[in-house]
Amino acid sequence: MRLDDRARTSGDGSHNEVDVGQDYSNVDRRFAQLDALYRLASVGSSEEHEDLVIEETLRVTREGIGCVAPVLFLVEDGREEMRVVTSSGSDGSLPLSEPSIVRRVLQSGQGEAVNDVVADPESSPVLVDDLGAQQVVAAPVAVGDKRMGVVAGVNSLRGSFTDDDLKLIAVLGDRAACALDNLRLRATLRRQEQEIEGLHRFSRLLTSAESPDDVIGESMRIVADLIEADKVALLLYDEERDELVGHPRIVGMSPDQAPSLRIPMSEPSLSGSVYRTDAPLISNDARHDKWVSDEIRELMGIETLLAVPLATGGRPLGVLKAVNARKGFFDGGDLRFATILGSRICSIIESSRARARERALVQRLREADHTKSEFVSMLAHELKGPMTSIIGFANVLEERWRDLEDDRRDRIVDLVTKEVRRLARLVDDLLDLSRMDAGMLRYGMEPVALQNVIRNIVSVHKSLSDKHNLIDSIPAGLPKVLGDPDRIRQVFLNLLTNAVRHSPDGTRIEVIAREQPPGWVEVEVIDEGIGIASADQERIFSKFVNLAKPTWIQKGTGLGLYITKGIVEAHGGEITVDSEEGRGATFRFTLPVAE
């Protein structure tokens, strides 16, 4: 700060030169001024809060220069206005975009004494109307090139301000600047220490073995501690619903309130804007902010709000919200540090999700390995049974062909033929599986009458109806479907074989079909068997799945329903099951109507 050796004072609106070297005429006043300067010089090294430094600066200004109202005009980071602080507290703002005596002092870096404020061409409503200024003496509050504001005395108790008042307020401005700068430097150092400690705590979470929810909960507590906010919430983007959804681990609120914390992306909101633009925002007057919904404001009791994206360079995962700063407002330091914390939380969430995916993958690999082992064991058993029978009967025929009666010889040949067909079905299933997984299973589409398919199956596979009451309820007028006749036959045969295998003898198995507009035929295969637990109803359409069954039920390969589902979906339809344990099952699938 540079104080001119000429200060502008006026009683009639003009600017008169004042001799800076003039001695003080009042010794007592000089001692009072020196005492004020001493107090102000010491306050910066002893006080821990900026408000106390401001309070002492105002008090010393009042006593030192003898004014009615001491005022501090403080520059706000990132804002084109100065905060006006009087002895009664913050009292509005002074725009830097408008001419004023205060702006002139700030920009020139020189103190001024104006004893006719109204006559000054750059008087402002804040000085004249709000502060009732008739005279004002002001000096910049600055350290080097760092301009923090202006200290001013309004309306002299002696009728006008002198060059002595100007010199003193210039020194007061210097001392206040040093005190505020030292205080802010100490605050910056404390914040940096907190940031380092907070980042260290976050780094430990990155390698934590805790569950993702526990990691997120601890992250929220760290953010609340470091930013000193009453409430901290995490909103994760739900792509299916296109909205930001509150995570249950909310600091300062009950987990039961999390389901109500939903912000649709289709509606204008501060959090939605942060997510879309990947840029942090502050609202220190959230009570009147139209970008904060009334519902969310009421739910969280929002007065001040800070929101930062959860992102590490790519698309954000969501938004981190800090609500109600304990110091009354969020500042640029909070915004910068919260942005860092948001990126760290994003890394933690991604790391936790990656570990969860890895654990799930390992579990699936273990299940696949176990399934493969079971399949190999099943396949060996399925092959061994027919092969043993075929070899045994072949040996009998070879050794006793001439000794066997014709009817016994025919029965043995029938048994061998049956076992060969059983092997052929197993091989066909394995070939279909291989082709289906490779996308090479071919279909010859043509109009197909489902009535003919069912009648052909019943006439050829009489074992399906030997011990069960098989009912064909397909109406005669049912339209033909478009499909591969052999594959559709395979679907019916698989479902009917499955129903027979899982139903006690003498029970009913019914096939129903109906037209379902627009352009579909729906088929149901209903049995009165052992049923399927709800937890297993999706699994049964997977490869190699064999559920726990009573001992009287013969195990299959675990491929039939998987292949059936693939064939139905290849025709553009879908297949589902409706069942309860002990109450049978209804397999329902759809096929397109032939045009």
Q: What is the pLDDT of residues 104-138, one digit of tens each?
A: 999 999 999 999 999 999 988 999 999 999 999 99
Q: Which residue has the tokens 């007592």?
A: 28
Which whole-number Å values give the CA distances from 388 to 58, 306, 424, 488, 557, in the listed order? 105, 76, 15, 32, 18
Domain definitions of the chain by residue range:
27-188, 209-358, 386-438, 446-592
Indicate whether 207 pLDDT > 90. no
What pLDDT, on the 0 to 100 scale, is given for residue 590?
96
Backbone angles phi, psi at 183, to 5 degrees: -65, -45
Q: Which residue has the tokens 């009458």?
A: 449
If DSSP codes are grouped into helix, strand and coil, which group holds residue 137?
strand
* pLDDT > 90 in the chain, percent: 34
Question: Residue 547's Cα: distance from chain center in Å?
Answer: 38
Backbone angles phi, psi at 138, to 5 degrees: -145, 150
Angle at 202 between CA 352 and CA 216, to 5 degrees: 45
* Segment 438-456, tens digit of pLDDT: 888 888 999 999 999 999 8
What pLDDT, on the 0 to 100 scale, is given for residue 28?
55
What pLDDT, on the 0 to 100 scale, is given for residue 550?
62
Is residue 207 within 8 Å of 40, Cβ to Cβ? no
Where in 49-179 does DSSP place strands (E)?
67-75, 81-86, 89-95, 112-114, 136-143, 146-156
Pick the CATH number of 27-188 from 3.40.50.720, 3.30.70.370, 3.30.413.10, 3.30.450.40: 3.30.450.40
Mean pLDDT of 282-310: 90
Mean pLDDT of 561-587: 93
Q: How far apart are CA 86 and CA 397, in angstroms?
A: 116
Neighbours of 457 (CB within 10 A): 20
Pick the range with the lowest mean pLDDT from 44-48, 54-58, 109-113, 115-119. Answer: 44-48
If DSSP codes are grouped into helix, strand and coil, which group holds residue 389?
helix
More confident residue, 70 or 6: 70
From 323, 327, 259, select the one nearest 297 (Cα to Cα): 323
Provide the Cα torsion 475, 476, 482, 484; round to 10°: 90
Angle at 484 between CA 478 and CA 487, to 5 degrees: 100
What pLDDT, on the 0 to 100 scale, is given for residue 34?
59
Q: pLDDT band for 37, please (50, 70, 90 cuts).
A: low
What pLDDT, on the 0 to 100 scale, is given for residue 11?
43
Mean pLDDT of 402-413: 83
What pLDDT, on the 0 to 100 scale, is given for residue 4?
42
Mean pLDDT of 98-107: 93
Arithmetic mean of pLDDT over the chain: 83
| Most distant CA atoms of the chain, gap in Å | 150
What pLDDT, on the 0 to 100 scale, is given for residue 115?
95
Fold of 209-358: Beta-Lactamase (3.30.450)
Mean pLDDT of 550-564: 73
If DSSP codes are grouped into helix, strand and coil, which group holds residue 38?
helix
26-30, 157-161, 376-380, range with greatest mean pLDDT = 157-161
Where in 396-519 does DSSP place strands (E)?
446-448, 469-473, 481-483, 508-516
Pick the range with the lowest mean pLDDT from 22-36, 126-140, 197-211, 350-364. Answer: 22-36
What are the structure tokens assigned to 148, written together? 């923090």
- Residue 539 DSSP one-character state: G
If DSSP codes are grouped into helix, strand and coil, which group holds residue 566?
helix
* Segment 505-519, tens digit of pLDDT: 999 999 999 999 889
79-88, 187-196, 403-412, range with greatest mean pLDDT = 79-88
Q: pLDDT band for 491, please (50, 70, 90 cuts).
A: very high
From 178, 152, 143, 141, select the one nearest 61 (Cα to Cα): 152
Pick the CATH number of 446-592 from 3.90.1300.10, 3.40.1800.10, 3.30.565.10, 3.40.640.10: 3.30.565.10
Indicate whether 377 pLDDT > 90. no
Q: Residue 70, exposed/middle/buried by CB under 10 A (0-12, 13-18, 19+)? A: buried
Is residue 175 within 8 Å of 191, Cβ to Cβ? no
What pLDDT, on the 0 to 100 scale, is given for residue 484?
93
Q: How far apart are CA 271 and CA 243, in angstroms?
A: 10
If DSSP codes are grouped into helix, strand and coil, which group holds residue 261?
coil
DSSP 429-451: HHHHHHHHHTT------EEE-HH
Alpha helices in 461-553 (DSSP H): 463-466, 485-501
Backbone angles phi, psi at 137, to 5 degrees: -125, 130
What pLDDT, on the 0 to 100 scale, is given for residue 584?
93
More confident residue, 5 or 412: 412
- Residue 73's beta-bridge partner residues? 84, 150
Pick the range with the lowest mean pLDDT from 96-110, 271-285, 309-323, 564-578. Answer: 309-323
pTM as predicted = 0.48
Q: How far apart are CA 268 and CA 283, in angstroms?
A: 15
- Residue 142's beta-bridge partner residues? 147
What are the structure tokens assigned to 127, written together? 């000085």
Contacts of 308 (CB under 8 A, 6+ apart): 274, 280, 319, 320, 335, 338, 339, 341, 342
How many distinct helices (H) and strands (E) make up the chain? 14, 19
Q: How far apart are CA 180 and CA 442, in angstroms?
A: 81
Shared fold status for 27-188 and 209-358: yes
